[in-house]
Amino acid sequence: MPSAMPADDAGRRLWARALHWVDPLVVMILSALLLGLLLPARGVVADVLDVARTAAIVLLFFLYGARMATGEVWAGLRSWRLQGSMLAATYVAFPVLGLLVQLLPDAVISSELKTGVLYLSLLPSTVQASVVFTSVARGNVAGAITGATISNVVGIVLTPLLVGVLMVRTSGQAGGNLTGILLLLLLPFAAGQLVQRWLGPWLRARPHLTRVTDRSVIVLVAYTSVSQATVSGAWSHVTWVALVILVVVCAAMLATMLLLTWDGGRRLGLARGDRIALLMCGSKKSLATGLPMAAVLFAPALAASVALPVIVFHQLQLATCAVLARRLAAQVE
């Protein structure tokens, strides 16, 4: 019996170490993904969740504005190296990767999915996830909000233009998202800034409030996006082999951009907070912008195949950056 005690202690230590590396946020995201595949929201439930997601996003950005000192916002706007590097990562480095994927033979990945990967590479950065993960990782939130918002405003014009130039398959105009960005993101943030003088100190003393909101929004977005794809039948024409290959291609693109933005920030001499903002914003692509644009820019028969890489990449970036954000925050703590 005495000889078994060290083994038991070692087992407990091994189990504790394994639990330490399990990110609760990743578990919640994967659970939301599985739930969206098996039990997608339909009808009234889907409508209610869509309203709830919109309200959560508005609340999230109001809290960001209310807790952030106005001086931090102006500092984010003045950081031209950070903003320029974010745009370069989103609209130069990413499209180059998308073009490189086109060199793969059709036997490896179908031409429809390659088209979707190229389209993915031309999208603007996601706003909510970029800012949330920057906040979780203790990065420059003001710079992330500014950079991700500029990326989306520019993308309303630049993404359809790049689709027309690089894909020669333009069939309409993409627009209408500027109003959504202004109403759902910038307006709540500005409203929060107006009351920052009174609410700011109280919120900064209670960071758990925004932390809970951050994670709730991510999980809600993950479930609703997968649920909508399941209901629309976006998965019906894809084999398991094709899906695995697509996941590998998207993972390789994400890993390349994460390494490029993190190392690029170091070479540019950016501060740690700015490097985190560049890492989180420069490696993301927007599902919220990508799916509506795909419905306008492509024929219905092609739109589902084009949308699938966007959905897959979206889930990969959420799960991967949840781990990175937590580890970066742990280094600071």
Does 182 have pLDDT greater than 70? no
Number of H helices, E strands in the chain: 17, 0
Q: For residue 37, is it within any domain?
A: yes
Domain containing residue 102: 25-332
Number of domains in the chain: 1
CB atoms under 10 Å from CB of 98, counted, come to 24
pLDDT in tens, 150-165: 887 677 778 888 888 8
- Find the angle CA(143)-CA(256)-CA(95) to the nearest 5 degrees: 75
Provide the pLDDT for residue 74: 64
Cα separation, 47 vs 99, in Å, equals 37
Amino acid sitting at position 236: S
Q: For residue 11, is it within any domain?
A: no
CB atoms under 10 Å from CB of 254, counted, come to 19
Q: For residue 229, is it within any domain?
A: yes
Mean pLDDT to the nearest integer, 56-81: 72
Q: What CATH number should be reported for the domain holding residue 315?
A: 1.20.1530.20
Q: For residue 9, is it within any domain?
A: no
- Segment (H or E) for 46: helix 43-67
Using an 8 Å Cβ cutoff, are 199 and 67 in contact?
yes
pLDDT in tens, 212-246: 777 787 788 778 877 877 887 766 667 889 889 99
Most confident of 19-28, 56-65, 75-84: 56-65
Q: For residue 17, is it within any domain?
A: no
Provide the pLDDT for residue 259: 97
Does 22 have pLDDT greater than 60? no
Position 172 confidence tier, pLDDT thresholds 50, 70, 90: very low
Q: For residue 3, is it within any domain?
A: no
Average pLDDT for the chain: 80
Name the more confident of 60 and 180. Answer: 60
Provide the pLDDT for residue 3: 47
Q: For residue 42, is it within any domain?
A: yes
Provide the pLDDT for residue 50: 82
Q: For residue 6, is it within any domain?
A: no
Question: In this structure, what token pair is assigned to residue 185?
Answer: 């993101």
Does 311 have pLDDT greater than 70? yes
Buried b (16+ CB within 10 A) or exposed e, 32-59: bbebbeeebbeeeeeeebeeebeebbbb
pTM beyond cutoff 0.75: no
